[in-house]
Structure 1
Amino acid sequence: MSAAGTRLSVFKTYKLFVGGKFPRSESGRVYEVTDAEGTWLANAPLASRKDGRDAVVAARKAFPGWSGATAYNRGQILYRVAEMLEGRREQFAAEVAAAEGVSRDEAAALVDAAVDRWVWYAGWTDKIGQLAGGANPVAGPFFNLSTVEPTGVVAVLAPRRSSFLGLVSVIAPVIATGNTAVVVTSERSPLPALSLGEVLATSDLPGGVVNLLSGKAAEIAPHLASHADVNAIDLTGADAELARELEVAAADNLKRVLRPAAGGTDWAADPGTGRMLAFTETKTVWHPTGV
């Protein structure tokens, strides 16, 4: 091509994020992602059941190290992710604007809120244990102590309409408390989520702590709900029919279920500690006081 010729654009290739790596779907399938007006944006990988199983294996492998890290260390890592999101603010604003059909200024405000929310959860990593645990008064010569522990591997159905702020709002509390996550992104707007994988991969977050699968929730989620190595599932992104199906599948293996809020969720509202506590267990230990 001559110097005066028109340069061809290099289109971005979006991939899954599993185990800290970026595989294509093992099925080789992709689907078209369009903006709010129907204009083609990119091809996203269409994850399969096998991709879901691979993500669960990666999350289970990462769980001992992540849950065993100090709460302070997890907070530092989450804060590092927020730093990197801040550095790519313009990219995410462009992707959110295209995904949700909002203006660039509105998209930038949503990205800012998502980064702030990530920082908020980072600050809670070493405080949630003090809120939900502590010493219990008992009759007798014993110390009785309650401590908060993560549930394990959590499958998360990301919100369908809030492509970034809602996404951060369901991922950050899961990993802040020491869980690992297998996330099924919004089918209609997966690109901000897949770009988040690039941020996570270049931060200090260990591979496998967060795994991102784009595709059809109705295809992937039932196998996550019935998977015996998944300890909990967040149904936020499921419609009423799919949520009922997943609740039945989860009941067969006594999986903890966080049901979608009635009437949807206002992601712009201030967060609370409920999502962190939803995927924690309380361990109580008795110890004699001695002589």
Structure 2
Amino acid sequence: MSEKSERPENSERSERSEKDGKAERTGKSGMAEQQARLAVFKTYKLYVGGKFPRSESGRVYEVTDSKSGQWLANAPLASRKDARDAVVAARKAVAGWSGATAYNRGQVLYRVAEMLEGRREQFVREVAEAEGLSKARAAAAVDAAVDRWVWYAGWTDKIAQVVGGANPVAGPFFNLSTPEPTGVVAVLAPQESSLLGLVSVLAPVIATGNTAVVVASQRAPLPALSFGEVLASSDVPSGVVNVLSGRTAELAAPLAAHGDVNALDLAGADADLAVELEAAAADTLKRVRRPAAEDWAAEPGTSRLTAWLETKTVWHPIGV
């Protein structure tokens, strides 16, 4: 009786052990397959006219971790032709972007901040590798960049009240001064601050209705190229922002001399390059903001907003 009752139990035990063995073997096999899986590396591209082209020359250059020197990616090495294409795209977008209401531009910029926040972890990793920061410091830099973008988004419909207004005149007429965008602004992004510095120089350009051609940090271009993906997935019209990567001096020269570029921000240029570019820009009477030592984590103020605005004054007779 006892022998008969034990047989089914022994049988069940053997079945369970066999299943457990199979599961263990399957688990080990799955882990081995997982370990053998090849990594999928990201392909970084330029952002021009709302699209993601490779450099027209097909050239790339290696980007390495600033601390370990480990290879991170191949970034596109943009050419002069890419720079000219970016200017064409930016010029085409001027009318629509400058003609949009300031309130609408503010909504679009806020949408960019939303999308940037949604990809926070990616940017924390990229900024940490680009600038040799700890994860905590990189996270603080990314958070500051998001906050900075929101701050500038709030200024879109307020800057006109600060720099514009009615002027006192003597006579049966009045005049009003209002700010208007300069047009296409070429921006040399800061070399050391790959995201926060980029946001600090780019946001005021487009917040005031200008369009931009951005030359990313030569040493650490990956956060800027990823930021192009953020812009593409936001509501920013194509051509409003164009992002190039490569040798700063090689790309800045044609931008400084280009007749369709109205202004130049030299934040990412060294002293010698800045002198050359300012001389080139003088031929086409560009507005130029010279490079200066800046703490990108400090409060920004409104100086970069007013730098890319022209003042239009309208005289109007007073009716009887």
* Corresponding residue to 2:194 among 128, 142, 163: 163
Distance 2:119 2:87 in 1: 28
Residue 312 of structure 2 corresponds to residue 283 of structure 1: yes
The match for 1:29 is 59
The match for 1:271 is 300
Runs of 4+ aligned structure 1 residues displaced above 4 Å come to none
* Corresponding residue to 1:99 among 104, 118, 130: 130
How big is the shift at 1:243?
0.2
TM-score (norm 2): 0.89
TM-score (norm 1): 0.98
Which structure would you say has the larger Rg?
2
Distance 1:141 1:7 in 2: 80
CA-to-partner distance for each residue in 1:9-57, whole Å, 9 max, x for gaps?
1100000000000000000000000011211000000000000000000
Residue 114 of structure 2 corresponds to residue 83 of structure 1: yes
How big is the shift at 1:165?
0.3
The match for 2:22 is none
Residue 65 of structure 2 corresponds to residue 20 of structure 1: no
Residue 47 of structure 2 corresponds to residue 10 of structure 1: no
Distance 1:89 1:102 in 2: 15
Query: What is the identity percentage for the equivalent residue pairs of Structure 1 and Structure 2?
Result: 80
Structure with the larger helix share: 2
The match for 1:154 is 185
SS at match of 2:93: helix
Structural RMSD (CA): 0.8
Amino acid at match of 1:21: K
CA-to-partner distance for each residue in 1:66-104, whole Å, 9 max, x for gaps?
000000000000000001111111110000000000100
Distance 1:201 1:34 in 2: 26
How big is the shift at 1:214?
0.2
SS at match of 2:260: coil
Where in structure 1 are there 5+ consecutive unaligned residues? Answer: none
Amino acid at match of 1:116: D
Distance 1:245 1:269 in 2: 29
* Corresponding residue to 2:206 among 170, 175, 196: 175
The match for 2:80 is 49
Residue 266 of structure 2 corresponds to residue 235 of structure 1: yes
Distance 1:290 1:193 in 2: 53
The match for 1:128 is 159
CA-to-partner distance for each residue in 1:184-218, whole Å, 9 max, x for gaps?
00000000000000000010000000000000011
Q: How does 1:192-231 map to 2 (within 5 A)?
A: 192-231=223-262
Amino acid at match of 2:276: E
Distance 1:112 1:47 in 2: 29
How big is the shift at 1:141?
1.1
* Corresponding residue to 1:114 among 138, 145, 148: 145
